[in-house]
Amino acid sequence: MISLQHYLVVSAALFSLGILGLLTRRNAVHVLMSIELILNAANVNLVAFSRFSAGNLGGQVFAVFVIVVAASEVAVALAIVLTLYRLRRTPNLDEADILKG
């Protein structure tokens, strides 16, 4: 029987992987994928809590909104990464380093 704990462990693993990828990856697209992992960790949590403990649909509705927002956020982020590629011919975040001080 799969219980709430199983879902929470999966979501914690997803969240940790997301943070790890965010901190270690240098390719902008990989970083965006890591951010997706973080958002989906929250989604798994929301749906699992809604099913097992809260006893209402609030969490599932929240998760649907999160999916929509995540899509629009990635659309904007990818447009910015694409501009980065056009300007510098690289998706590498390390090379975006003219602003500092």
Partner 1 sequence: MEELLRSLALFKPETALVAGLLLVVIADSIGAAWRNAAMRLLTLASLAVALGLAFNLQASGAKASIFSGMLVVDPLGAAFKVILVAAGLLTVLVFTFRNSRELHGLGQGELMALVLALVLSCLLLAASSDLVILYLALEMVSITSYVMVAYLKGDRMSNEASLKYVLFGAASTGSMLYGLSFLYGMTGTTSLPAIQAFLAGGVPEANRFGIYAITLLVLAGFGFKIAAVPFHFWCPDVYQGAATPVTALLSVLPKAAGLAIALRFFYGTFSAPGMSPWDLEGSINWTALLMVISVLTMTLGNVAALTQTNMKRLLAYSSIAHAGYLLMGVVALSENGARGLLVYLAAYLFMNLGAFLVVTLVHLHDGSFDLRDYAGLHRRAPLLTVAMAFFLLSLVGIPPFVGFLGKLYVFAAVIEKGMGVYATIAAVNAAIAAYYYFRVLKVMTIDSGNEDKPVLRLAAADRAWLVAFALANLLPIFFWGQVEAWARGALVLYAGR
53 binds partner 1 (CB under 8 A): yes
Number of other CB atoms surrounding residue 28 within 10 Å = 20
Q: Which of 10, 17, 33, 84 binds partner 1 (CB under 8 A)?
A: 84
Q: Is 17 exposed, middle or buried (0-12, 13-18, 19+ CB in 10 A)?
A: middle
- CB closer to partner 1, 1 vs 65: 65
What count of residues does the chain have? 101
Q: Which of 17, 27, 30, 62 binds partner 1 (CB under 8 A)?
A: 62
Q: Collect all residues with Cβ–Cβ distance below 8 Å to 38 and sequence separation of at least 6.
A: 14, 15, 18, 19, 22
Q: Which residues bind partner 1 (CB under 8 A)?
A: 11, 15, 18-19, 22, 28, 31-32, 35, 38-39, 41-43, 45-46, 48-50, 53-56, 58-59, 61-62, 65-66, 69, 72-73, 76-77, 79-81, 83-84, 87-88, 93, 96-101
